[in-house]
Structure 1
């Protein structure tokens, strides 16, 4: 099977959030990403486009997914990365349902995260620390943005991502501790073992929006010892999760 001009145009269109949502699919690229996808989540794969020397061609054939062999110049046209790779897949979106969040588990709430790299890294961090749910405000960057998919790697398929009105989610889960990352919060490293609940990470520049502040039961902060103006949202998330979950594991 050869790739057509219409196929290429269709795949190129999926760089746009509107077309991704209309078609219910998105693009994943790269050998490591596609390997993870085929090994655990092949049911979501709509089609694979690969160079003839792609290492995992036999794996894809064993999963009975549609495979199209393309030329390097065709892959370059289809790729949504600065440097095209040897394989890409068109993947069906997952639509997990969000109910009440369970007690005894950590959950992440993202309030207006805009940078795709930050969101992708946060998804990987959630996967690393065993967090099952990330609840995003509706204005958070799309988790199926190509840069998010690339940064999240295979973690995108292991963490449930929900887009919701945060006020409603927080209101519905006030039985859980709700921690907000604020500059005037308590020193994270002196807070002791925190009971699992919800951690809110704010927008890269504006922080947590005022409407969500009343739901915070404890404000926490990463203490500053140097002269840096701020921390990258993903780095801050990693420090908070390492402190909260790591401390709990040792307690």
Structure 2
């Protein structure tokens, strides 16, 4: 039975301060919970309906996890979804561990990306294009925000991330940095290296001055119409697609 205290604990994780205090986060919905159960995250609680149990009995842990089979109404009261007939899971937050940048791999760096939906979309885009490392400035949205995780559609389980002082990290670690600017070189004309950093800036202010000084090549997505700008998630996907297309055409894949 799901106690009031456990329910209160799960609901508290909607707030960043309690996620930090408890070093825990939650995901909800069949897609994200199923991806989580198949990942290397340490799961502490699993709340699910009879329907989810019947369809995913092979994924439900036999030990080490607090299991609660509940009605749809109780499940919905624990999370943020208006409708959830499947599951919700609580897992431990991973340590913020620095990683190395290999010369032959692509990494996405986000400078002050504040919108949770945009961050979640970029995580999903990275996963789609086989980019497994994500650098985030300390001011960027919280990776474990429920809106971020929901927008990622399970891709958060396959992307390694590291929050850091971007200017300090990139100055030490990165060789080739491609930054998105309105006045950069046409994306179609850029000769991309075998690997590097794709740097995206704040939704309204762009890339900060301290980080922009480290950019090797400023790039821009050519505009053919009259829109003033592109959503940062969409822009990231366009740049990633061109990077991978260039690699395919030049044999650098």
With the shorter chain as reference, the TM-score category is over 0.9
Partner residue, 1:44: 42
Partner residue, 2:240: 241
Matches of 1:68 and 1:113, distance apart in 2: 36
Partner residue, 1:35: 34
Partner residue, 1:87: 87
Partner residue, 1:230: 229
* 2:9 is the alignment partner of 1:10: yes
Aligned pairs for 1:58-97 (under 5 A) are 58-62=58-62, 65-97=65-97
CA 1:118–1:63 in structure 2 vs 1: closer, same or farther (change >3 Å)? Answer: farther
User: TM-score when scaled to structure 2?
Assistant: 0.93
User: TM-score when scaled to structure 1?
Assistant: 0.93
RMSD: 1.6
* 2:201 is the alignment partner of 1:205: no
* 2:182 is the alignment partner of 1:183: yes
* 2:52 is the alignment partner of 1:56: no
CA deviation profile, 1:77-107 (whole Å, cap 9, x unmatched): 1112243342000011122521431111111
Matches of 2:82 and 2:201, distance apart in 1: 29
Question: 63-72 or 23-32: which moved more?
Answer: 63-72
Matches of 1:82 and 1:164, distance apart in 2: 35
Instruction: Give the gaps of 5 or more residues in structure 2.
Output: none
Matches of 2:36 and 2:20, distance apart in 1: 20
Instruction: Give the gaps of 5 or more residues in structure 1.
Output: none
Partner residue, 1:159: 159
Following TM superposition, by how much is the alpha carbon of 1:181 offset from its aligned partner in structure 2, in angstroms?
A: 0.4
Matches of 1:205 and 1:172, distance apart in 2: 27
Partner residue, 1:133: 133
Count matched residues.
248
Matches of 2:143 and 2:39, distance apart in 1: 19
Matches of 1:123 and 1:133, distance apart in 2: 9
Following TM superposition, by how much is the alpha carbon of 1:247 offset from its aligned partner in structure 2, in angstroms?
A: 1.1
Matches of 1:109 and 1:58, distance apart in 2: 37
Partner residue, 2:25: 26
Question: 105-114 or 62-71: which moved more?
Answer: 62-71
Aligned 8 A contact 2:99 2:162 in 1: no
Aligned 8 A contact 2:76 2:82 in 1: no
